[in-house]
Amino acid sequence: MGDRGQAELEAHVASLRRMFAADAAARRRAKLAEQQERNRPPSTTVAGARSEQAAVELLLASGYRIVERNFRVKLGELDVIAADGDTLVFVEVRSRADDLHGSAIEAVGYRKQRQVARVAEMYLAMRRPTQRRVRFDVVAITGGKAELIRDAWRMTFR
């Protein structure tokens, strides 16, 4: 093999070494990112979905029938719409990892109640459910402990 062939071979080997080194580094970075992801708390979206599923399970165990989940309009969202006998129930789901900054039920203040009631009013106008009675319940999950508060507040509709 001539000098030119030898030089081409060495350049090719060097190129392969760089490629494998870059590939190994990429694999190490991906493995490190995966380990960090496992140690990270869930995103608020994931945590919210888990809390909502826990709330639905609690509602079903309490005899409710789920009518609809995540009803969205420009004004806001209703987490869960359920039927409890002949009453249509709008359920607000709130969760907190712990009670260091207050319990989950404390997060459902007057403004949130008013917003949920407005969206509920839109739901009633759009869906025209057969139930004649309406109620607002809250499922509050604090530190993994779920609590159902029936008839958490009352609102009058126009």
What's the CATH number where 104 sits?
Answer: 3.40.1350.10
Q: What is the pLDDT of residues 147-156, one digit of tens each?
A: 999 999 987 7
> What's the confidence (pLDDT) of residue 22?
66
Same domain for 84 and 135, yes or no, is: yes
Same domain for 66 and 132, yes or no, is: yes
Same domain for 10 and 63, yes or no, is: no
Q: What is the DSSP letter of 43?
A: P
CA dihedral sign, ordered 129, 115, 158, 74 = negative
pTM for this entry: 0.73
> What's the confidence (pLDDT) of residue 100?
82
Domain assignment present for residue 158? The answer is: no
Pairing of strands 133-142, 87-96: parallel
pLDDT top residue among 32 and 149: 149
When pLDDT is cut at 50, 70 and 90, the band that residue 16 belongs to is low
